[in-house]
Amino acid sequence: MIRSTVRFLDERSGGAPFLRKALRYVFPDHWSFLLGEVALYAFVVLVGTGIYLTLFFDPSTATTHYHGEYQPLHGLEMTHAYRSVVDISFKVKAGLLIRQTHHWAADVFVVAIVLHLLRIFFTGAFRKPRDLTYYLGLTMLALALLEGYLGYSLADDLLSGMGLAIGYSVLMSVPFVGANLAELVWGGPFPGTPAFWSRMYVAHVFLFPLLIATLLGAHLLLVAARHHTQFRGPRKTERKVVGVPTFPGQTPRSLGLMSAVTAVLFLLGGLVQINPIWLWGPYHVASGTNGAQPDWYLGWLIGALRLVPGFDVTIGHYTLVPNPFWGGALFPLVVFGFLWAFPWLERRFTGDHAFHNLLDRPRDAPWRTAIGAALFTWVALIFLAGSADRVFVTFFVSYGWQILFFRIAVWVVPVVVLLVTRRVCLELQASERVERERELAEEEARRAAAPEPVR
Amino acid sequence: MRRLLAVAAVVLLAPGAAAAAPSGSGLYAENCLSCHGPGGSGTARGPRLRGVGAIAADFYLRTGYMPLLSPGDQPTRRRSPFTARQIDALVAYVASLGKGLPVPRPHPERGSIPVGLRLFTEHCAGCHQVVGEGGYVTGARVPPLEQASATQIAEAVRIGPYLMPRFPRTQISDRQLDSLVAYVQWAKHPDDRGGWAIGHIGPVPEGLVAWLLAGTALVAVCVVIGKRNEA
Amino acid sequence: MRALWRYLVAAVVLLLGRGRRPPRVERAERIVPAGEPSPRAELLVLALFGATAACAVAFVVVYAVESIPHQTQFLGLSLGLAFAFLAAALIVIASRLVVTEELEEDYPVPAHPAEQEALGQLVEESGDRMTRKRLLLVGGGAAGAALGAALVTPALSLGPAFEIAPFFRTPWRRGVRLVDEDGRPLHAHDVLEETFYTAYPEGADREQLGAPIVVVRLRPAELHLPAGRDGWAPHGIVAYSKICTHAGCAVALYRKPTFPTVEPRPALVCPCHYSTFDPARGAKVLFGPAGRPLPQLPLFVGPSGELRAAGNLSGPVGPAWWGVRNRRPS
């Protein structure tokens, strides 16, 4: 059976030599190398559940009055888009499970990408020859954020409408061309023409997934072409990679991880309620709800929008830069720009242009680790500021004081983290050096004390 | 903490529910007069109570909003230091100070939840969040509505406690109020067909679940899978 | 229980193992090193596969049986557990039933200088017949750029890209009546203090940013409107655009003090980023990220006491953009 299948395929594709090599491709082992795979499998679940949802979703802004099964929305005016999402939740059997799994998969997809990015950054895996792989990964992260935002917006519930209004305002705030861009995307002033919904829809279900999938393919090809990185260890050198082969060693592990990711997502999808749009109600330009938030992965932007003090840059009666630009556009551009530039910056400052297949431990590169920790702290603080209102409701900590605290902390704490992290790295290095010297000295002493070895 | 102590102090000082009917004016003199002035005339520490009616006294006392430790504080819901009978006496006393609205008797069973949702979204969701989970308005914490009784909801709509606007009959009719109350009552236990509701406030707890539950579980799986050759 | 298992396994083995077994060719050298069999692990894997199948079947049953309460939860639980058992089975296979080899492999060579050189040479020599290379390159570049621009041009049809007049347009005109959510005209005597009203222009599309306004009544003595707005607030009734000038959300919060001596002054607040506007002072920003006040709608009271717009809003509605302040809405 096996041999005849192989023969059949090889005689038609000539792929046997390639496949044989591929099956013995070596995977170095460390648990953190699997984080990227988690993201990959979340993406697979996203595509699968997403295709199912497209079979029921209606991207139309034509209005209707609801008279379906769910009583509390009876008689309310809403768009077909919103209505179809309510129907997916209540009328389509298993529809709510798939919808919630899709949403959880989106949330977990970005969690996995961020964890993967942290691993790559702090171990220096982005260095030559893998900088291109790293750029592709960063671009996919940016695309994933936009793709998630589009999905969140399509449902046309109260939260998604408010989110779109904010997105529109951020685009409007871009100097020189903001208004023109917003007009192009929305087809006119907010809330735009009906065509806007089909534009979002085609972007969400076709353009962005296609882009992400293409970059994902390139990302994986580059990984395979250059092989995985590995931590320093016995027999592991810049020239030799040590690990288990694709088959039989790695295959059941990867399939097991894929099943585990799918399991977690379906369990969440069935057991934990996410984005209950039937509770938010439909969106109208004139309505709003307290504490409107984007999905977590855009929380850093709402934090930034809330932290920036109230001012527009103006000359006389001309507005030059409206306020949302700082938090909504410049801030993410700075973060992504810095991450993009980092491999180049590091090469420039360290003068290290060499190939690297061996990973650094975070302590091995104190500056990189310190800068990474500071950047992460900066973004995390601004992210936390985005939920200050809920913190106030739950823990009675004054919102005004929190905002004041964060406005100072975002400038002070990262600097402290930078210095402390660098110091800790250096101390760790030093203690290792001392340890090694002591071992050497003991060895020496033992050898001196021991009688001449018999040959 | 300070507030807690104060409550405890008030509880200790408040005369125990004696067999005799408590006297409204006596209670008022002991607990309210220092801020609201003699006969509800108001002082620099507290507003006039003449004409606020039974409706306001009933709301502020049964929610535990009053008595307040310090006049600048935002009143928050807590156990009232008074017994139900003492509150009855105080409400009657405050009502007797001037002409005001009586305690409303809403009939949520006559209301319609969809109408209530529409009204709530238009008038209330901006502060109280669309499922009544509370929120923030500059300068104050907006209370969640889980513990608000039907009467208290109706009272709050009409009197506008603390920083809340008050909605007169011309704006929200008594019939509409029934629907509004019906919606708020329903929203305490809404349709959570999706499973564990995690607070009905959307993305913040969802993000926590994504990171703390899913993230931790998946990292744990990675650690298990990444460990080789144990057997 | 144990015995039952053994029977079950024996039956499965019997069923599956009956096929004719191909003669195993003994090779000089194995590719995958041999390892010890582990019948207990096999049993475990079989049990996990069984659990997977049982959960998967349960999913189908839950799907088919209408009367099951909490259907979504049971669907998720069954499907999730099916995958969880599958994951466990695969992990057991990985750790106990396949050999975990440790292979060594050379990293690919960092670079191929000879090929790089050859590629360069290839391209250079291919262009040998061209004498004015730079000019040709410039020409080709220009052609490409022009063609690219041509291909992008249709994208401009997405919207009226260069026309910013639509941003200044609102449905408010002198004489337009203010109506509430249900389309009833708003009368001055209905508008009371200490509350807020959402109103729309009569007969206009409500789903445009310029339409919704928020109306509040203040004591005329408290009003300190900017210069030039005399008579905009009959009986102390002021109206502002309901769309936040920061990020376009609906300004759906109104706070008013019960006891003004110690409580904060009345304010309109946006629920997205908590920009706070002072209705008594032309919606000046009190707190939060908004950069300019809400535009105000001048009002007058019509013959039968109804509120009407006395003109258009005092400035452009909603989020700001480059050059936003220089025009009044049309």
B-C contacts (CB, under 8 Å): 98
Q: C194 and C68, same structural domain?
A: no
Mark which residues 98-137 of A lie under 8 Å from C by CB.
100-101, 129
Question: Which residues are CB-neighbours of B116 under 8 A, at least 6 positions away?
Answer: B179, B180, B181, B182, B183, B184, B186
Task: Tell me if B203 and A294 make a contact (CB, 8 A cut-off).
Answer: yes
Poorest-pLDDT segment among B11-15, B141-145, C220-224: B11-15
Domain final residue, candidates A349, A379, A401: A349
What is the average pLDDT score of chain B? 89
Q: B166 and B145, same structural domain?
A: yes
Nearest Cβ partner of C195 from B127, B166, B224?
B166
Instruction: Give the CATH number, domain containing residue B129.
Output: 1.10.760.10
Q: Are B176 and B212 in contact (CB under 8 A)?
A: no
Count of residues making up chain C = 330
Does residue B100 form part of some domain? no
How many Å apart are CA C318 and CA C328, to the nearest integer? 13
Please compute the mean of the pLDDT values over residues B209-216 and round it to a whole number: 96
Q: A425 and A282, same structural domain?
A: no
Burial of A249 (0-12, 13-18, 19+ CB in 10 A): buried
Q: B113 and B76, same structural domain?
A: no
Task: Tell me if B227 and A294 make a contact (CB, 8 A cut-off).
Answer: no
Nearest Cβ partner of B165 from C198, C254, C262?
C254
Q: Are B132 and B144 in contact (CB under 8 A)?
A: yes
> In this predicted model, what pLDDT tens digit does every residue of B161-192 receive, in sequence order?
999 999 999 999 999 999 999 999 999 999 99
Instruction: Give the CATH number, domain containing residue C286.
Output: 2.102.10.10
Residues of chain A contacting C243 with CB distance shorter than 8 Å: 285
Q: A176 and A63, same structural domain?
A: yes
Domain final residue, candidates C77, C99, C121: C99
Say if residue B126's pLDDT is above 50: yes
Query: Is residue C23 less than 8 Å (CB to CB) from chain A?
Result: no
Nearest chain C residue to A230 by CA distance is: C107
Å between B173 CA and nearest CA of chain A = 20
Number of domains in chain A: 2
Number of domains in chain C: 2
Does residue C18 form part of some domain? no
Å between A143 CA and nearest CA of chain C = 21
Strand partners, B137: B140
Count of residues making up chain A = 455
Instruction: Give the CATH number, domain containing residue B32.
Output: 1.10.760
Q: Are C275 and C285 in contact (CB under 8 A)?
A: yes
Query: Is residue A256 less than 8 Å (CB to CB) from chain C?
Result: yes
Please compute the mean of the pLDDT values over residues B155-163 and round it to a whole number: 96
Å between A366 CA and nearest CA of chain C = 27
Please compute the mean of the pLDDT values over residues C190-210 and round it to a whole number: 94
Strand partners, A272: B196
Å between B124 CA and nearest CA of chain A = 8
How many Å apart are CA C77 and CA C61, to the nearest integer? 13
Domain range spanning residue C72? 38-99
pLDDT of residue B220: 96
- CA nearest B9: which of B57, B59, B61, B81? B81
Query: Is residue C292 less than 8 Å (CB to CB) from chain A?
Result: yes
- CA nearest A110: which of C83, B202, C272, B203? B203
- Per-residue three-class SS string for chain C: CHHHHHHHHHHHHHHHHCCCCCCCCCCCCCCCCCCCCCHHHHHHHHHHHHHHHHHHHHHHHHHHCCCCCCHHHHHHHHHHHHHHHHHHHHHHHHHHHCCCCCEEEECCCCCCHHHHHHHHHHHHHHCCCCCCHHHHHHHHHHHHHHHHHHHHHHHHHHCCCCCCHHHHCCCCCCCCEEECCCCCECEHHHCCECCEEEEEECCCCCCCCCCCEEEEECCHHHCCCCCCCCCCCHHHEEEEECECCCCCCECCEEECCCCCCCCCCCEEECCCCCCEEEHHHCCEEEECCCCCCCCEECEEECCCCEEEECCCCCCCCCCCCCCHHHCCCC
Number of domains in chain B: 2
pLDDT of residue B9: 45
Residues of chain C contacting B114 with CB distance shorter than 8 Å: none
Domain range spanning residue B151? 108-188
ipTM comes to 0.93
List per-residue pLDDT tens for chain A, 455 residues long: 889 999 999 999 999 999 999 999 999 989 999 999 999 999 999 999 999 999 999 999 999 999 999 999 999 999 999 999 999 999 999 999 999 999 999 999 999 999 999 999 999 999 999 999 999 999 999 999 999 999 999 999 999 999 999 999 999 999 999 999 999 999 999 999 999 999 999 999 999 999 999 999 999 999 999 999 999 988 899 999 999 999 888 999 999 999 999 999 999 999 999 999 999 999 999 999 998 899 999 999 999 999 999 888 888 878 889 999 999 999 999 999 999 999 999 999 999 999 999 999 999 999 999 999 999 999 999 999 999 999 999 999 999 999 999 999 999 999 999 999 999 999 999 999 999 999 999 999 988 887 665 55
Burial of B139 (0-12, 13-18, 19+ CB in 10 A): buried
Say if residue B15's pLDDT is above 60: no
B80-84 contacts, C-beta under 8 A, 24 or more apart = B81/B7, B81/B10, B81/B11, B81/B14, B82/B14, B82/B27, B82/B31, B83/B17, B83/B22
Nearest chain B residue to A266 by CA distance is: B214
Task: Tell me if B136 and A159 make a contact (CB, 8 A cut-off).
Answer: no
Q: C89 and C179, same structural domain?
A: no
Instruction: Give the CATH number, domain containing residue A234.
Output: 1.20.810.10
Say if residue B113's pLDDT is above 50: yes
Å between C264 CA and nearest CA of chain B = 7
Task: Tell me if C194 and B165 make a contact (CB, 8 A cut-off).
Answer: yes
Opening angle at CA B116, ends B115 and B121, nearest 5: 105
Nearest chain C residue to A267 by CA distance is: C80
Written as six digits, the tokens of C24 are 């195993």
Single pTM value for the model = 0.93
Does residue A261 form part of some domain? yes
Residues of chain C contacting B160 with CB distance shorter than 8 Å: 194-195, 256, 258
> In this predicted model, what pLDDT tens digit does every residue of C6-56 receive, in sequence order?
777 666 666 665 555 555 566 668 888 888 889 999 999 999 999 999 999
- CA nearest A306: which of C274, B18, B230, B74? C274
